[in-house]
Amino acid sequence: MEKGRKKAANVSCRREKGTREMEDDLTDACTIMSYNILADNNARNHPDLYLDVPWDAMRWDSRRRLIIREIRHWDADLVCLQEVDRFREISAEMKNRGYECSFKGRTGDAKDGCATFWKSERLRLLEEDSIDFSEFNLRNNVAQILVLELNGTHKFVLGNIHVLFNPKRGDVKLGQIRMLLEKANALAEKWDGIPIVLAGDFNSTPDSAIYKFLSTMKLNISLHDRKQLSGLDSSDFGLYELCSLLNYQWTDEEVRNATGYSNVTVARHPLRLSSSYAMLKGNSSNRGHQGEPLATSYHKKFLGTVDYLWYTPGLECSRVLDTLPMGALRGTRGLPTREMGSDHLPIVAEFVFMEPTQDDSPQEDEAEQDDKSAQAAGTAKHIYFSSESDSSVDAS
């Protein structure tokens, strides 16, 4: 615990001198990382995405070294990885660093899965669950759901998901996310209304309808094109698209995927969610729509944000790890590089547990939600992940 505290002060000093030292004891703060590490198998299967990447930077051995170095450097209490297909190698390294772990592999032909690691010194696993979306006809993706206890006092639910990539299947993505939220909520209720953090690669951009669904608790799918729901579809606009624009075509099955019911076109979820990066109204130039990072992933076919750390009332986000400046990112001409091991950047947020307020029950009043956002934003600070701090990764 002492070590965790020192680390937090250290990281903060790099950016804003002295701010952390003046604050309260950080023993009860919890840092959580979400990082899609690009499965070796996926890297091999999609060479077209990495045409400009030097061959040696694509080698798993070198990527593994960089990924582990990155994870170790930020030293988060909880590490949620996606696209893990060399779990044994990663978990051996993590166990050496005092982490316990859990893995849930995707089904079908996929070789990778989600892996979650927590520091046994600080966190204790109370319950564990997972979702195999293929059981619900929602493709071969998976999610993990853990109940953890920090320092023997603060319990919370942790979700880790890698949402389906397919840009055209917004219905399936919405269904997967909806199920994760429902299941996380049920587990949180079972443990007396504990807070929730949801980490992962949601394969949806900050300006998308799926992002709106997450942050506003509902989405009328009949107002949207299934293929545009996640913001990932960049295909050309043809006659078919024009026709479907005039009349959004949803089959019964797609509606059921998205909302859970074939006769209901509004998808709903029960959680009042805030996104860590969006909550921090700081002055980083790396942030765009909603205050989200401009990019958490970069390769030949995509430059943008798909990774998030969502959380519910009962928690407040005190700091986040800044992403790389767009200039620096563009300068790489695509990830991974000889310095960065994946085609995603890790995101990290620090959470503090709040005293329960009088009314923490979910509600749909957006005005009230904005009030709360403003309050939390006032207390938040950034740490930088710039080329400067990148060099400190090398130094460690």
- By CB under 6 A, name the binding residues for ligand KL2: 36, 42, 46, 49, 165, 201, 203, 297, 301
Q: How far is the CB of 131 from ligand KL2 (least distance, A)?
A: 17
Please name every residue paired with 200 in a beta bridge, in sequence order, or none if there are none: 161, 308
* DSSP code per residue over 350-372: EEEEPPP-S--S----HHHHHHH
Task: Give the side-chain half-sphere CA count within 13 A for 220.
Answer: 2
Backbone angles phi, psi at 118, to 5 degrees: -135, 145
Q: How far is the CB of 31 from ligand KL2 (least distance, A)?
A: 23
No. of helices (H) and no. of strands (E), the chain: 14, 17
Distance, CA of 53 to chain centre? 25
Pick the closer one to ligand KL2 by CB: 297 or 389. 297
Q: How far is the CB of 109 from ligand KL2 (least distance, A)?
A: 10
Pick the closer one to ligand KL2 by CB: 49 or 196. 49
**C-alpha distance across the termini of the chain, in Å:** 20
Q: How far is the CB of 77 from ligand KL2 (least distance, A)?
A: 24
CA 91 to CA 322: how far, in whole Å?
A: 26
| C-beta nearest to ligand KL2: residue | 165
CA 180 to CA 146: how far, in whole Å?
A: 12
Pick the closer one to ligand KL2 by CB: 42 or 389. 42
Q: How far is the CB of 343 from ligand KL2 (least distance, A)?
A: 6
Pick the closer one to ligand KL2 by CB: 49 or 219. 49
DSSP label at 385? -
Q: How far is the CB of 96 from ligand KL2 (least distance, A)?
A: 27
Pick the closer one to ligand KL2 by CB: 39 or 68. 39
- Contact (Cβ atoms closer than 8 angstroms) between residue 356 and residue 314: yes
Name the residue among 363, 299, 314, 389 with its Cα closest to residue 154: 314
Burial of 142 (0-12, 13-18, 19+ CB in 10 A): buried
Name the residue among 362, 361, 203, 178 with its Cα closest to residue 267: 178
Pick the closer one to ligand KL2 by CB: 6 or 301. 301
Q: How far is the CB of 198 from ligand KL2 (least distance, A)?
A: 15
Pick the closer one to ligand KL2 by CB: 298 or 351. 298
Pick the closer one to ligand KL2 by CB: 217 or 335. 335
CA 113 to CA 92: how far, in whole Å?
A: 16
What are the E-state strand segments in 151-244?
A: 154-162, 196-201, 218-220
Q: How far is the CB of 149 from ligand KL2 (least distance, A)?
A: 30
